[in-house]
Amino acid sequence: MRTLIITALLLVNAVAVASAQDIEKPPVAGARKLAKFAPKPIVPPEARTKHLKGVGVCIVYVRPDGTVSRAEMSPSTGEPLLDRASIDAFSRWKFVPGTVKKVKIPIRYTGKYPKPANT
């Protein structure tokens, strides 16, 4: 049982998101397991500066070949910049062909973004 819990936690931690400091990891282990390619959302600089936060769900519609045909937020995070970052990333996901047609991916942006490194 403990191994199962640890495995489940590892799968949740493997979800495609920007980083632990940028976005809370959503519980989409099932979708993540079926994804062959799952890029993380990139929080735009303006959203970082303003410490924008929000919670939403990105719905992706998947073609038989495993590519995403369309992505939309429902509900929205409440922040268009964060919605766009989510849609941009999740639109690029690739799934094992023929395994899913529609996937709901919860996403939570915490607003706790690290300060940019001085260059």
Q: What residues does each domain of the chain span? A: 2-109
Phi, psi angle pair for 68, to nearest 5°: -85, 125
Q: To the nearest whole number, what is the mean pLDDT of the chain?
A: 79
Is residue 98's pLDDT more than 80? yes
| Reported pTM | 0.72
Q: Please write the tens of the pLDDT for every residue from 55-78.
A: 999 999 999 999 999 999 999 999
Q: What pLDDT does residue 83 have? A: 98
Q: What pLDDT does residue 1 have? A: 40
The one-letter amino acid at 41? P
Show the CA angle centred on residue 107, arms to residues 103 and 109, nearest 5°. 165
Beta strands in 8-117 (DSSP E): 23-24, 35-37, 54-62, 68-73, 94-95, 102-109
- Residue 89 · residue 41 · CB < 8 Å: yes
Q: What pLDDT does residue 113 have? A: 86
Q: Which of 106, 103, 51, 60 is nearest to 81 (CA)?
A: 51
Q: What pLDDT does residue 11 have? A: 32
Is 3.30.70.80 the CATH number for 2-109? no
